[in-house]
Structure 1
Amino acid sequence: MKKTRHDKDPFDLVIFDCDGVLVDSEVISCRAHAETLTRHGYPITAEQVLERFLGVSDREARQTIESEIGRRLPGDFEAQVKAATLQSYAQELRAIPDVGDAIDAIGLPKCVASSGTPEKIRHGLSCAGLYERLAPHIFSAGQVKRGKPAPDLFLFAAEQMRTPPARCLVIEDSLPGIAGAVAAGMTVLGFHGGSHCRPGYGETLRAAGAVTTFDDMRQLPGLIGRIGA
């Protein structure tokens, strides 16, 4: 793909979510989370984890569950989920189709803002062959007080990249992510091409605040140009 950049572009930075946008990881992550929760006395399916916690940090998902069951999960619960997830990553994880070419074709600075832990983000991007394209501009929910749907992570990423929020374009696949980006005063595109996305999910993302949606990463560079125009 030829790089697209115009002098009158309204954006100075593209912020990518990671899971479900760069790497096709949501099904893997939800399965690992569900199996670990069920083992600790909170029966739940991967589909239910997807519906309830897509885009939410592990820390905040844990707080929600502990408030429901009235007790604390084991101190190493997140480590157990992470270990199960990373083991599956090595065997199953793939990049979202054509995302590498799309990244290369976008003639704007880029960064990642993800609800995952730094280790999970790095491992996932490395398994998918994308880490070197985006490092070192990779930010995680652990660096801010509140994860998505709060705007904190997106505002932190913009600050680190020295870009005003209004000049940032966010690529998201989750409702909490879109809510956080909108609250940060950023423009959001909704991606619904991951294996976890059901029919009609694009309409759901638009209703949440995405200015437009797409399901094929080959469309992304052109979309950015058209939104700019």
Structure 2
Amino acid sequence: MTFTIQAVIFDSDGTLLDSETLGMDLLWELARDAGLPLTRDEAHRRFRGVGIAEVGGWVMAELGRTESDQVASFVDRYHRGILRRFHEALAPMPGAVDLLEALPLPVAVATNGPREKVGLGLALTGLDRFFGDKVFSAPELGHFKPDPELFLIAARALKTPPGRCAVVEDSLPGLVAGLAAGMRVYSLHPREGLPEDLAAQLVFIDSLSDFGRKIGLLPPPTMTKH
């Protein structure tokens, strides 16, 4: 099998780890507890792909609370809460293990999340064995998506030109960053809600298994006989 792609860089939350609902629900609950009357759907739409400190800042600004310690307290409550929820309910995204076991290419994780969180998530789900030290965290490196530098750092570590890297992402900042890095970007984010000029540059997938099929790695789904 011939691959034009020579390496794959994955986002973490909502891409490899089935953590996005856990995280979005926690942010919704924290915002609601602080006094902000958001619905669950509103919170998920507004907070998806946004850094926790930015979410905390927005929530406090909406409530007219400008003290920095209010934002710091929100962020601290999130980090403590999400670690508990990871231990209780975190799972790999459907198809993640099968894809990574079959993928004969170097892989990395590039995430806007803190290293402690992504490291724990990968360890709890057993996905850490696929990535070793190829996990790149924006807070640690100082480059947050949509800045493409996080992906470029990962590509250099994988010793692969950016144009030969595939990015698998589910958030708008990550999609923008992957394209800006000059990589082929596979989107778990649906076309709906994305700017059309951005959507035209993406390859849309509905699962990690679909990604495997699109790159010629996994066979098409078996047809059910009636």
Task: Report the TM range for the smaller structure's normalisation.
Answer: 0.7 to 0.9
Distance 1:54 1:164 in 2: 29
Distance 2:166 2:71 in 1: 38
Q: 1:170-189 maps to which residues of 2 (within 5 A)? A: 170-189=167-186
Aligned length: 212
Distance 1:142 1:99 in 2: 25
TM-score normalised by structure 2 residue count: 0.82
SS of 1:171's partner is strand
Report the AA paired with residue 24 of structure 1: D
Question: How many Å apart are 1:118 and its aligned residue?
Answer: 0.7
Corresponding residue for 2:223?
Answer: none
Distance 1:43 1:162 in 2: 48
The 1:92/1:168 distance shift into structure 2, 3 A limit, reads same
Report the AA paired with residue 110 of structure 2: A
Report the AA paired with residue 11 of structure 1: I
The 1:67/1:166 distance shift into structure 2, 3 A limit, reads farther
TM-score normalised by structure 1 residue count: 0.81
Corresponding residue for 2:9?
Answer: 15
SS of 1:225's partner is coil
Question: How many Å apart are 1:162 and its aligned residue?
Answer: 2.7
Distance 1:77 1:56 in 2: 14
Report the AA paired with residue 89 of structure 1: F
Question: How many Å apart are 1:203 and its aligned residue?
Answer: 4.6
Matched, 1:28 2:22: yes
Q: 1:1-229 maps to which residues of 2 (within 5 A)? A: 6=2, 9-65=3-59, 69=64, 71=66, 72=68, 73-192=70-189, 201-204=190-193, 207=196, 208-209=198-199, 211-225=202-216
CA contact (8 A) 1:155 1:184 kept: yes
In structure 1, stretches of 5+ residues that fail to align are: 193-200
Report the AA paired with residue 158 of structure 1: A
The 1:85/1:50 distance shift into structure 2, 3 A limit, reads same
Identity of aligned residues (%): 33
Question: How many Å apart are 1:158 and its aligned residue?
Answer: 1.7
Distance 2:74 2:139 in 1: 16
CA contact (8 A) 2:15 2:188 kept: yes
In structure 2, stretches of 5+ residues that fail to align are: 218-226
Report the AA paired with residue 213 of structure 1: F
The 1:120/1:206 distance shift into structure 2, 3 A limit, reads same
The 1:65/1:184 distance shift into structure 2, 3 A limit, reads farther
Q: Which has the larger radius of gyration?
A: 2
Alpha carbon RMSD of aligned pairs, Å? 2.4
The 1:205/1:215 distance shift into structure 2, 3 A limit, reads farther
